[in-house]
Amino acid sequence: MSQTTLAPEGTATREPSGILAFENVTRVFRTGLESHTALDDVSLTLQESQRIGIIGESGSGKSTLVRMALGLDRPTSGRVLYQGRDIHSFSQAEWLAYRRAIQWIGQDTGGAFNPRWTIRKSMMRVNTTLCGLTAKDAKDRMESLTVQMGLDAALLDRKPAALSGGQRQRFAIVRAVIPEPKVLLADEAVSALDVSVQGTVLNLLKEYCDTADCALMFVSHGLPTTAFMTHDVVVMKNGVVVEHGPTRRVLEEPEHDYTRQLVDAYTYDA
């Protein structure tokens, strides 16, 4: 069993259930006669305003964890808790509130928006229907966040294909933060971007989390970006949490052989 309770370094108080928690979550995928355990009894707690990294080789279960948090997939056993309550016990109204409170930013910046609509139309649609904002609130927040992200407001009236990858990714962040989420799930959110744009996007994301007291689950293959973005880190292998702790300690003085291999491989490749 992998059990970890994580809090920002120096945080004085800890809520046992945190804002988002995975309680003994197991996910087994069955295809024909084969079965594969993508998550194996994973327990971890994300505290308010905490930024945690999730690292591990391809296939270790990182994205499955994110899908569980978004309610796009259900645990075979165990529970996903938001503010101490099982997300799958929510009423329809509670579910709507949850979908506002937890937002996702992925690697595929094109996929975040309808290719046939302008960015403005996509964002307004999601935030008024799915997230329940009034049209005025959605528009005001969209326009001011666009400027905060260093984007020209005129770009809102373009379709996604008429934007650069970096611009689309910054709009993906704008879309995600308009509903004032309490948790952001970033799954390889900057890996498709070139290094100079990565830095800008990471800074904006970090700044947003700090000013809005928003927690962040940061899934990445990049150890330097994980070190920059997170207070704590969880190392996953074959669906199990093999190590966790303050990011600097885990990356500089790994306790588990697997973490050491990850760190060494990264240094070697760099």
Ligand X SMILES: Nc1ncnc2c1ncn2[C@@H]1O[C@H](COP(=O)(O)OP(=O)(O)OP(=O)(O)O)[C@@H](O)[C@H]1O
What phi, psi does 132 have (nearest 5°)?
75, 20
Q: Tell me which of 45, 47, 63, 230 binds ligand X, using CB under 6 A.
A: 63
Tell me, by CB under 6 A, how many residues bind ligand X.
12
Retrieve residue 31's tokens.
């295809």
Distance CA 144, CA 147 (A): 5
Retrieve residue 217's tokens.
């689950």
Minimal distance, residue 62 CB to ligand X, in Å: 4
With contacts defined by CB under 6 A, name the span among 7-15, 56-64, 194-202, 249-257 that binds ligand X: 56-64
Q: Tell me which of 18, 53, 61, 106 binds ligand X, using CB under 6 A.
A: 61
Retrieve residue 240's tokens.
């199990």
For residue 259, state whether it binds ligand X (rule: CB under 6 A): no
With contacts defined by CB under 6 A, name the span among 12-20, 30-38, 115-123, 178-186 that binds ligand X: 30-38
Which secondary structure element, helix H or strand E, spans residue 65, and what is its range?
A: helix 62-69
Nearer Cβ to ligand X (31/91): 31
What phi, psi does 12 have (nearest 5°)?
-80, -40
Angle of CA points 101, 211, 213, to nearest 5°: 40
Q: Tell me which of 4, 8, 26, 59 binds ligand X, using CB under 6 A.
A: 59
Rounded to 10 deg, the angle between the 165-177 and 195-212 helix axes is: 10
Distance CA 245, CA 240 (A): 15
Minimal distance, residue 59 CB to ligand X, in Å: 4
With contacts defined by CB under 6 A, name the span among 59-67, 91-99, 192-200, 246-254 that binds ligand X: 59-67
Q: Tell me which of 45, 49, 60, 259 binds ligand X, using CB under 6 A.
A: 60
Alpha carbon of residue 148 to chain centroid? 20
For residue 29, state whether it binds ligand X (rule: CB under 6 A): yes
CA nearest to 63, candidates 9, 108, 17:
108
Nearer Cβ to ligand X (131/233): 233
CA nearest to 160, candidates 113, 108, 216:
113
For residue 31, state whether it binds ligand X (rule: CB under 6 A): yes
Look up tokens 């509670």; give the residue. 94
Q: Which residues contact 92 (CB under 8 A, 6 or more apart)?
A: none
For residue 246, state whether it binds ligand X (rule: CB under 6 A): no
For residue 190, state whether it binds ligand X (rule: CB under 6 A): no
With contacts defined by CB under 6 A, name the span among 58-66, 77-85, 117-125, 260-268 that binds ligand X: 58-66
Nearer Cβ to ligand X (123/233): 233
Q: Which residues bind ligand X (CB under 6 A)?
A: 29, 31, 36, 38, 56, 58-64
